Structure 1
Amino acid sequence: MKAIVHDSYGPPSVLRLEEVEQPVPGRGEVLVQVHASAVDQGVWHLTAGLPYPIRATPYGLRGHRARVRGTDVAGVVEAVGPEVTRFRPGEEVYGSCEGAFAEYACAREDRLAPKPGNLGFEQAAAVPVSGVTALQALRDSGRLRAGQSVLVIGAAGGVGSFAVQLAKAYGAHVTGVCGTAKVDLVRSLGADRVLDYTREEPTDGQRRYDLVLDIAGNRPLSRLRRVLTPRGTLVIVGGEGGGRWIGGLDRQLRALLLSPFVSQRLRVLASRQHHGDLRLLAELIEAGSVTPAVDRAYPLADAPEAVRHLRQGRVRGKLVIRVREGASGRA
């Protein structure tokens, strides 16, 4: 089968299209004929091997499967391994797995769910990683309740575009932060107020929020706390900067150390994919409460260019990898 692989860490150019052996599903695994995947910051980090500790994880370049990049997956069940009970061949699914930039990929049964019936494969592939991350950040780490005020910093990105819509679905008043070129997108997602960070600083303290969601940011912890209510919650999702050894983890570590000593809740999200959350997202999508924001789709061979585009910071929503032609249409 064709797959996007790499054998060394580096820029997106280390990724290449290659013929590799088709995987075989093991116990509790599902073999998916991949129709589409998507790109997120995690794909870049694994490609670059940055920050350095990521190279020592099971997702680093150790073992045959780790050579193939990609996490989001949408496709059709080709075969199932022993003890799989939820899926049968021919069913349309979406979820996450290792090695999704390929024509076939093996996914754990508990990381898949039936594909939303009103989405094509490309749109569905944009949901799992970013959608589940946004959901868990708001519901679990943020403990969001109806009527609360939410500030989403990074509202036009993959996670942010879902966070704005999910927060509205939960009944919150949402302020989204983005650059000038993305203001219209964030407004179309349902944000009650949109701040252009090139014209006004969202953490200047003029307004306070019950929940602040900081996505892949680098603003100092003190500035983020400044816009929280006295008992508000800050949830940090990822982060950039910090050098090759710790990346953006420095703010996260400081938040965890400081949280027990202040009235505000300072949380760091460690998202985990689960079929229950994928099913919930599918229900919200089918009800019209959430719609994936897809910027553009790239053919599988152009996955390196998609990763490069992501790092340039101009993406509106999600970038999708089209593995099979015809994956864009609605089901």
Structure 2
Amino acid sequence: MCFWEVVGQWCLELAGTALNSFCPVETLLLTKFGGKRRSRRWRTGGGLIYASWGRFLGFCRRFRTLGVKVFEKGQARPIFPRKLPHILVTDVAGEVVEVGEGVKNFKVGDKVVAMLSYGNGGGLGEFAAANAEMVVARPSEVSAAEGAGLPVAALSAHWALTKDAEIKLDGTGKQKNILITGASGNVGLYAIQLAKLENAHVIATCGARNIELVRSLGVNEVLDYKTPEGEAVKSPSGRKYDFVIHSASQAIPWSVFEPNLSTNGKVIDLTLGPSSLFTFVLKKLTFSKKTLVPLIISLKGENLDCLVKLVKEGKLKTVIDSSFPLSKAEDAWAKRLDGNNTGKIIVEH
């Protein structure tokens, strides 16, 4: 086992199971590009299981738009998945059952939240191995379901706001006008809450059925993205945006954003396509005050720990759409592919 790995087994009643014995492991595998998936129970012995965590795990919108389609069509190979069969999902929470040599911060029985590597995945199953640097303690006030929803989506929102938009999350900064597109998606739902911690004036776009949900999280103005006003992303109060967190699945051209930006307005783009890359380069070359930057995240355990603490303090919550048992993981994955959920889909073992 890797020196820095922490092995977790996310079934509380099996917390004492020895991993160096033969043990049945249930997983959901991607076996063929183009959407072929199947469930499998296998037996692993003669060492530690490097398969999958299964206690609670969450799907997120960004994983769906950039992950599900990319994973299932093989568009990101050879970066990820590294090989087939591949055990899906990276966001997990549960209980540690064994630690690797040199791991000092965790012990058997610790409740934790973790993000697995994109290349290895491993979330949809009973066991997994994780790099200790991306594992953080989960206090009793934070449920496993709440914690499992955090890693990809909340880390994306946190990085976009604290690094690219320089939000401090403590209410001490100057009020900013922030537009969040795709606000009812998983990144958007976290971004709303984090932006409000800085007392930002938040304008959000979403579908009509989710307007009340985003309002309940503190949004100041809401635009139905299917209306002419929503398509133009114009603030109903006439405000210009200091920052835009563009997390909507549909593309919005720079020509729509630009007239709505303040003098030094910045679009932080999570969608990252050829058009946005071209705009990013063009604005750099022309020294434009109005800019677009792609979201490039440096994953850090300290940021995940910050998010877990915000949940503990009641300042951040995970919106949960539905829950499935691990035996129905394929149904959960199919629902995520359909894209009709609002909030996290949780798989529980």
TM-score, normalised by the number of residues in structure 1: 0.85
What residue is the counterpart of 2:274 in the other structure?
250
Is the Cα contact below 8 Å between 1:157 and 1:318 reproduced in 2? no
Superposition CA RMSD, Å: 2.3
Secondary structure, counterpart of 1:160 in structure 2: helix
2:335 paired residue number: 309
Taking structure 1 as reference, are residues 85 and 263 closer, same or farther at Cα in structure 2, changes over 3 Å only? same
**Contact 1:77-1:89 within 8 A present in 2 as well:** yes
Q: 2:249 matched to 1:228? A: no
> What is the match of residue 55 of structure 2?
35
Q: Specify the alignment match of 1:184 in structure 2.
A: 212
Contact kept in structure 2, 1:32 and 1:107, CA below 8 Å: no
Change (3 A) 1:182 1:258: same
* Runs of at least 5 residues in structure 2 that lack an aligned partner in the other structure: 1-24, 168-172
Cα distance in 2 between the residues matched to 1:83 and 1:182: 47
Per the alignment, residue 125 of structure 1 pairs with 148
Q: For 1:263 and 1:33, how far apart are their aligned partners in 2?
A: 46
The 5-angstrom pairing of residues 7-22 of structure 1 reads 7-11=31-35, 14-22=36-44
Q: Is the Cα–Cα contact under 8 Å of residues 31 and 77 in structure 1 kept in the other structure?
A: no
* C-alpha distance in 1 between matches for 2:104 and 2:231: 48
From 103, 107, 110, the equivalent of 1:88 is 107
Please show how residues 1-331 of structure 1 align to structure 2 within 5 Å.
1-11=25-35, 14-22=36-44, 34-40=54-60, 41=64, 42-49=66-73, 52=75, 54-57=76-79, 59-62=80-83, 67-97=86-116, 98-144=121-167, 145-199=173-227, 200-201=229-230, 203-205=232-234, 207-215=239-247, 216-237=249-270, 239=271, 249-260=273-284, 261=286, 262-322=288-348, 324=349
Distance 1:268 1:316, change over 3 A: same
In structure 1, distance between residues paired with 2:239 and 2:34: 41
Q: Which residue type is aligned with residue 266 of structure 1?
A: L
* Corresponding position of 2:7: none
- How many residue pairs match? The answer is 304
Kindly state the Cα deviation for residue 251 of structure 1 after the two structures are TM-superposed: 2.8
Specify the SS of the correspondent of 2:112.
Answer: strand
Identity %: 25
Is the 8 Å Cα contact of residues 95 and 128 (structure 1) preserved in structure 2?
Answer: yes
- Letter of the structure 2 residue corresponding to residue 253 of structure 1: L
Identify which of structures 1 and 2 has the higher relative contact order when contacts are C-alpha pairs closer than 8 Å and 6+ apart: 1
Q: Distance in 1 between matches of 2:38 and 2:283?
A: 44
Contact 2:246 2:268 in 1 (8 A): yes
Contact 2:53 2:122 (8 Å CA) reproduced: no
- 5+ unaligned residues in a row in structure 1: which ranges? 240-247, 325-331
Q: Is this contact kept in 2: 1:185–1:316, CA < 8 A? A: no
Deviations 1:168-201 (A, max 9, x none): 0122111111001101110111111111112332
Question: What is the distance in 2 between the residues matched to 1:204 and 1:44?
Answer: 27
Shift of 1:315: 1.8
Q: Any conservation in 2 of the 1:46–1:60 contact (CA below 8 Å)? A: no
2:336 partner amino acid? L
